[in-house]
């Protein structure tokens, strides 16, 4: 069985083919103007529409396609909606209708969780409840996740940011330093030139919720006071990592035996991964390549659904 997956998030156009033997993917980060911290939804929708035909062509030859799966909305909650996902919806509906195959819709978040489960080296985790931390440009959430045949994974939020996401902190500080958006990779390389051990701001975590906006203000003050760019970069990453760690420790108080799976673009960061690995046990990370937005998880969600339906009909 082979499934075509499509994901059109706010900053990445992604297509993938998934089968039991592995996957192939193509993706393209959307262009953001110099000095800007994001894209209008209308611009993202336009860029996805431009990117999809070329990315689909690059997957050729696809071979027989047995189903099409796509990301339809950010999360599996009522009212979750972003216009950028309409581009993927249109492409997926067209492909499924032309091929005469089933069409499955999932959330972008469920795709992230599936990509992490499939590539973290402990695929069995996805068969029972687990904790998941989704850390990206738009999301900072600690989740109680469980397998769900209809939507891939149910995800109850047990901790979240009350203002900025960790990805926004990293990107805003990166833009402050003149880096290209999204800034994660460049900011990490800059931070590696600093030997800062303790950031000049304590994390703000109450219960399992956090506040992150103070980090942006502190970074701006550091720059105004002449701090080296590398120190400012390292501060932003250490602050983000310590916040994720504090939220993880709080979640462990109520769910001490559950593994924690880390997913989302921020979790590509080596400094943050090493910090968490030194402090916590029974944790795992998505493959670095599939921490960022991708259609691979969505394609695998579709593959599992198709296999279940085949078994039911068989």
Q: Do residues 109 and 85 make contact, with C-beta atoms less than 8 angstroms apart?
A: no
Model pLDDT, residue 243: 97
Q: What is the pLDDT of residues 143-184, one digit of tens each?
A: 999 999 999 999 999 999 999 999 999 999 999 999 999 999
Using only C-alpha atoms, what is the Rg of the chain? Answer: 19
- DSSP of the chain: --EEEEEE-SSEEEEEEEETTEEEEEEEEPP--TT-----HHHHHHHHHHHHHHHHHHT-------EEEEEEESSSSTT---TTHHHHHHHHHHHHHHHT--EEEEEHHHHHHHHHHHHSS-GGGGGS-EEEEEESSS-EEEEEEEEETTTEEEEEEEEEBSS--HHHHHHHHHHHTTPPSS-HHHHHHHHTT----S-SS--EEETTEEE-HHHHHHHHHHHHTT--HHHHHHHHHHHHHHHHHHHHHHHHHH-TTS-EEEESGGGG-HHHHHHHHHH-SSEEE--GGGTSS-SHHHHHHHHHHHHHHHHHH-
pLDDT of residue 313: 63
8 A C-beta contact, residue 296 and residue 12? no
pTM for this structure? 0.94
According to the model, what pLDDT value does residue 38 have?
86
- Third-level CATH fold of 3-120+291-313: Nucleotidyltransferase; domain 5 (3.30.420)
Q: How many angstroms separate the Cα of 146 from the Cα of each of 5, 114, 295?
A: 22, 11, 20
Q: What is the pLDDT of residue 199?
A: 83
User: In the beta sheet, which residues pair with residue 68?
Assistant: 4, 103
- pLDDT in the model for residue 198: 81
CATH 3.30.420.40 region(s) of the chain? 3-120+291-313, 160-285
Angle at alpha carbon of residue 19, lines to 14 and 22, rounded to 5°: 80
What CATH number is given for 160-285 in this structure? 3.30.420.40
Q: Residue 253 corresponds to which tokens in the numbers above?
A: 């108080």
Which tokens is 35 given? 């000095």
Exposure string of 222-233, with b = 16+ CB inside 10 Å and e = fewer, is: bbeeebebbbbb
Residue whose C-alpha is closest to residue 213's, from 250, 254, 249, 166: 166
Question: Residue 268's closest CA among 249, 285, 248?
Answer: 285
| Token duo for residue 23 | 């996957």
Cβ atoms 229, 177 nearer than 8 A? yes
| Other beta carbons less than 10 A from residue 139's beta carbon | 25
Cα separation of the two ends of the chain: 15
Residue segments in the chain with a per-residue pLDDT below the cut of 70: 313-314
């Amino acid at each position: 069985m082979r499934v075509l997956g499509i994901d059109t998030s706010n900053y990445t156009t992604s297509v993938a083919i998934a089968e039991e033997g592995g996957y192939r993917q193509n993706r393209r980060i959307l262009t953001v103007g110099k000095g800007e911290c994001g894209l209008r939804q209308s611009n993202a929708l336009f860029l996805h529409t431009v990117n999809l035909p070329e990315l689909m062509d690059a997957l050729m030859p696809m071979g027989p396609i047995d189903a099409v799966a796509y990301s339809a909305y950010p999360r599996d909650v009522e009212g979750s909606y972003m216009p950028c996902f309409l581009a993927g919806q249109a492409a997926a509906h067209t492909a499924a209708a032309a091929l005469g195959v089933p069409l499955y819709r999932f959330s972008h978040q469920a795709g992230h969780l599936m990509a992490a489960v499939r590539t973290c080296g402990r695929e069995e985790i996805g068969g029972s409840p687990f904790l998941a931390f989704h850390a990206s440009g738009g999301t900072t959430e600690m989740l109680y996740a469980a397998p769900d045949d209809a939507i891939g994974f149910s995800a109850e939020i047990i901790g979240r940011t009350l203002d900025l996401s960790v990805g926004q902190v990293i990107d805003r500080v990166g833009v402050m330093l003149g880096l290209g958006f999204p800034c994660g990779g460049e900011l990490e390389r800059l931070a590696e030139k600093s030997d800062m051990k303790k950031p000049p701001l304590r994390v703000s975590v109450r219960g399992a919720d956090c506040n992150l906006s103070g980090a942006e203000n502190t970074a701006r003050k550091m720059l105004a006071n002449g701090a080296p760019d590398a120190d400012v970069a390292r501060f932003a990453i250490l602050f983000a990592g310590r916040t994720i760690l504090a939220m993880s420790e709080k979640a462990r108080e109520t769910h001490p035996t559950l593994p924690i799976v880390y997913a989302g673009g921020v979790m590509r960061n080596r400094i943050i991964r090493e910090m968490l690995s030194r402090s916590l046990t029974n944790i795992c990370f998505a493959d670095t390549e599939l921490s960022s937005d991708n259609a691979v998880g969505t394609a695998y969600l579709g593959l599992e659904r198709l296999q279940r339906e085949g078994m039911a009909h068989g």
